Amino acid sequence: MSTLAIKDLHVSIETEQGSKEILKGVTLTIKSGEIHAIMGPNGSGKSTLAATIAGHPRYKVTSGTIMLDDVDVLEMSVDERARAGLFLAMQYPVEVPGVTMTNFLRTAKTAIDGEAPKLRTWAKDVRGAMEKLKIDADFANRNVNEGFSGGEKKRVEILQMELFRPKFAVLDETDSGLDIDALRVVSDGVNRAHSENDMGTLLITHYTRILNYITPQFVHVFVDGRVAEQGGPELADELEANGYDRFLAPAQA
């Protein structure tokens, strides 16, 4: 059983107009096996939270803490965080020319486990995981994300999540731009990782659509860099019916 605890997190980015605070005190605790949905309008800081957990250099933590059990995540480099069991499924996965998926997956798995995976079982694991996510076998020979469609990139993110078996996964709008079939395939992958590995999940989404396939125990509504309201799955239903208006009106007043 692990715990990812975010406490009073303040995060800024540097812009041409100077430093701008995006997260203004976020507190969240996720335990193994829990699924938390973070919802909120565009620009509320959802993706900033995801990138900050992963350690993207653009985001500066000005105060607050992120702890993975008793380890200070903010003290770790990007790769150390991944090896400690944190995974970020990116909203816009980048293409890496000249590096094949096969080479990339094996290199990452070796780094995360601290030893090379057994050749025969690993090839089988990769093939099996690709089949379940309906990813064409030929993708293994292609360069990382090169020429993949938006939906293919998202599936490959989930493929990595299933193969690397993280303690906690942050899914940054993985559902955006997916058609209904792809959404189902991706959701199945998340549910598998959740039940097989007891993975804790932070599901960041703009829409409630994906919550038809992945059921969160906790829903947090992000507005203007803070958690404006928390509740159970019924909060998502209410957002589905009423939208974000009731959160935005007082913020603008």
User: If binding means CB under 8 A, how many residues of this protein chain bind other proteins?
Assistant: 28
DSSP 206: S
140 class by beta-carbon count within 10 Å (0-12 exposed, 13-18 middle, 19+ buried): middle
96, 143 contact by CB (below 8 A) = yes
Q: What is the dihedral of CA 174, 178, 180, 184, to 10 degrees?
A: -30
Which residues, numbered 230-249, are part of the site for other proteins (CB under 8 A)? none
Which residues, numbered 53-82, are part of the site for other proteins (CB under 8 A)? 54-57, 77-79, 81-82
- Which of 98, 119, 138, 245 contacts other proteins by CB under 8 A? 98
> Does the footprint of other proteins cover residue 217 (CB under 8 A)?
no
Stretch that binds other proteins, among 36-44, 87-95, 182-190, 238-246 (CB under 8 A): 87-95
Which residues, numbered 149-188, are part of the site for other proteins (CB under 8 A)? 160, 164
Neighbours of 28 (CB within 10 A): 19
Shortest distance (Å) from residue 84 CB to other proteins: 9
Q: Given CA atoms 97, 101, 102, 103 in this order, what sign does their dihedral have? A: positive
Question: Which residues would be at the binding site for other proteins (CB under 8 A)?
Answer: 54-57, 77-79, 81-83, 88, 90, 93-94, 96-99, 103-104, 107-108, 111-112, 143-144, 160, 164
